[in-house]
A and B are shown apart, each in its own frame.
Chain A
Amino acid sequence: MPRLVNARVEYEVKLGRLPTLTEKETHYCPGCEHGTLTRLIASTLDKLNLREKTVLVDSVGCSVFAHDYINTDAVQAPHGRAPAVMAGIKRVRPDLVVFAVQGDGDAVSIGLLELVNAANRGEPVTIFLVNNAIYGMTGGQMAPTTPAGMVTTTSPYGRDVSYTGQPLDASRLLASLDAPSYVRRVVLPLEPIRDTGLYSARGSLECLKVVENAFRVQLMGGFSFVEVVSTCNINWKMSVLESKKYAWEVLAKTFPPGVYKDKFGVEKV
């Protein structure tokens, strides 16, 4: 832990603290990608100078404390309802930038109706779905996105997809609708480089571009959805490095990264 804190301090001494990040240390478990995504979002809001016109909608799950770290106005949504709360804000105040970070339980299970319908109306909001294939906050239960065979506390013998259904692919689902402008999936964790023992950060670099694309799409009046394939090493019962490997070798096969929809061609810019 001290090492991580020092790394952050060193980073901020060199580059200066981002105005859109608060000074609070995150509660996320070591190895979790939530903190990385938080920083990518904050730096994008700063780059686009959006902090003062942005409202963050808190979802329920590990992302529920997003307002503790992202220094914008924020409103709490009931579990799964963030897209509806966002739509409510955006409809009366189209001048505001509205976004949420949702987990896979929040967005794809209890809040699927709100997600699909907000997307289908093309609400000009931005949703980041952190898909770590498990219910992290409640202690590692099966999620709608849990891959076949994965052991969780409510699928202790591995997920039997013939009994509980296939992992639900939110990006493909939303891309099948006409209205969404930008549907994009990235794999955020560090990627093991074969036979070297080293790890590549290309996932987070790609994610940074995608986060900016997503906000640009909202500013152009479109619905943007970014699914961030992530890890939960604590509840996966893996070491941090094992979880990175699992994310790239198993999760990324179930949820392949890619551009699922890009109406405005922001990927090409």
Chain B
Amino acid sequence: MTKEFTKGNEALAYGALKAGLNAYFAYPITPSSEIPETLAKEFGSHRYPDFKVFLQAASELEAISMVIGAASTGAKVMTATSGPGFSLKQEGMSYAAAMEVPILVVNVNRAGPGLGNLGPEQSDYFQATKGGGHGGYRNIVLAPNSVQEMATFPRLAFSLAFKYRNPAVILADAFIGQLKEDITFPDIEPEKFETPWATTGARGKERHLILSLHLDFEEQNKQSEDLRRKYEKIDAAEQRAESYLTDDADVVFVAYGVVSRLCKGVVNRLRDTGVRAGLFRPITLSPFPYKQLSKLAEAKRRFEVVELNMGQMVYDVKLAVGDASRVGTIQKLGGLLPTTGEIIRRTQEMVANA
């Protein structure tokens, strides 16, 4: 167990190394660049003997295709990016989903459509959780809200990616990526995964094909139905969330990432003034923790969804709650964070108007 004062992006890089990362394919983009920079520094060091490949690609498209190639051999492979780069990654992620190649893609979400800016936003929520690329598929999406989770989520993400042979995404935001906090790394060995599907040459066995073209409609139908069944399985088994003071809460804030930390402060301040507030934080954004949230919604509570976008997670919250009139939304855009005062004021307004 080592305690370190570390930046979010660096913690993620070390977390991946300690999870047994084999290969990283890089295309730098702010605010995620410390991830490849940290890995470039550690590449070749004796501390991480599993880490065999660090390679800077010529584009995001090239990087994600390298990830697919490397991962098709059964290796633990990761790439990281941000906003505009994540758009380009969608091509490869659709193929990886179709071909059931386990990969890990990190998106340190920045602000705005287009080039935007380098501040935190959560506007890539739809893109990450609803497929993102062409065709129908799902990523497994984890949302860290601390530097500690940046360090521990790569292990969890690889574990889920290999268990389900599916792309996993760590959806951080510019704030968590750049934040510095004390963290501890647990001393545990990297997980080992069986990869009987890998394409490593047909020596003494039937050859393996990792393909995504199924011209025969029945064959494509079977492939898509198989994927659907897999997503249902993931949905049933992997929903993760954290609840804070929700048991007796009249108003429950729903937030993830950096906003969930702001909302915790809001909850504490409201509790001090006698308002029974609580916080529900989805940890997996996909599968979205519908089960836990639906359970909370059985009591007649209000839910305030606070997010750094024009309202994306709020649709999942409304689905879980079932009664849209009990769901409010507080949004902030452009790389800015709402203040706790602002969140409290907006909440009071909405409660008054409800």
Contacts and interface: CB of A to CB of B under 8 A. Distances in A.
Interface of A: 51-55, 57-58, 64-65, 67, 71-78, 81, 84-93, 96, 113-114, 117
B65 A76 contact: no
A75 B210 contact: yes
Given A91-B53, A114-B62, A117-B57, A72 B70 contact: no
Contacts of A91: 23, 52-53, 55, 66, 70
Given A52-B202, A96-B201, A85 B65 contact: yes
B294 to A, nearest CB: 38
A9 B347 CA distance: 79
A117 B62 contact: yes
B91 interface: yes
Contacts of A76: 95, 99, 210-213
A74 B69 contact: no
Interface of B: 22-23, 25, 52-53, 55, 57-59, 61-63, 65-73, 75, 77, 91-92, 95, 99, 199-204, 207-213
A77 B210 contact: no
Given A51-B202, A78-B95, A92-B73, 5 more contacts: A58-B211, A58-B213, A72-B202, A84-B57, A96-B200
Nearest to B96: A78
A89 B61 contact: no
Contacts of A51: 202
17 contacts: A55-B199, A58-B213, A71-B202, A73-B208, A75-B72, A75-B211, A77-B65, A84-B57, A87-B55, A87-B66, A88-B25, A88-B68, A88-B71, A89-B73, A91-B55, A92-B77, A117-B57
A117 B69 contact: no
Given A78-B95, A113-B58, A85 B69 contact: yes
Interface majority SS on A: helix, strand, loop or mixed?
helix
A57 B210 CA distance: 10
B58 to A, nearest CB: 4
A114 B208 CA distance: 25
A117 B53 contact: no
B65 A81 contact: yes
A73 B75 CA distance: 16
A73 B201 contact: yes
A210 to B, nearest CB: 24
B26 to A, nearest CB: 12
Given A73-B201, A73-B209, A93-B73, A85 B58 contact: no
A204 B191 CA distance: 50
B58 A117 contact: yes
Contacts, number: 127
Contacts of B212: 76
Nearest to A64: B213
A92 B52 contact: yes
Contacts of B22: 92
A122 B260 CA distance: 47
A81 B199 contact: no
A84 B65 CA distance: 5
A85 B211 contact: no
Contacts of B201: 52-55, 72-73, 96
Contacts of A90: 69
Contact of A113 (B59, B68, B95, B199): B59
A78 B99 CA distance: 11
A73 B200 contact: yes
A67 B62 CA distance: 22
Nearest to A50: B201
**Most B C-beta atoms less than 10 A away, residue of A75, A86, A90:** A75
A77 B92 CA distance: 9
Nearest to A70: B207
A89 B70 contact: yes
Contact of A88 (B59, B61, B67, B95): B67
A128 B65 CA distance: 19
Contacts of B202: 51-52, 71-73
Contacts of A86: 69
Nearest to A81: B65
B203 A53 contact: yes
Contact of A57 (B69, B75, B207): B69
Given A81-B65, A92-B53, A113-B58, A74 B70 contact: no
Given A52-B201, A52-B202, A113 B62 contact: yes
B53 A93 contact: no
Nearest to A91: B53
A89 B208 CA distance: 14
B209 A74 contact: yes
Indicate the member of A57, A73, A74, A81 with the most B CB atoms within 10 Å.
A73
Pick the most buried of A71, A84, A114: most chain B CB atoms within 10 A of its CB: A84
A111 to B, nearest CB: 9
Contacts of B99: 75-76
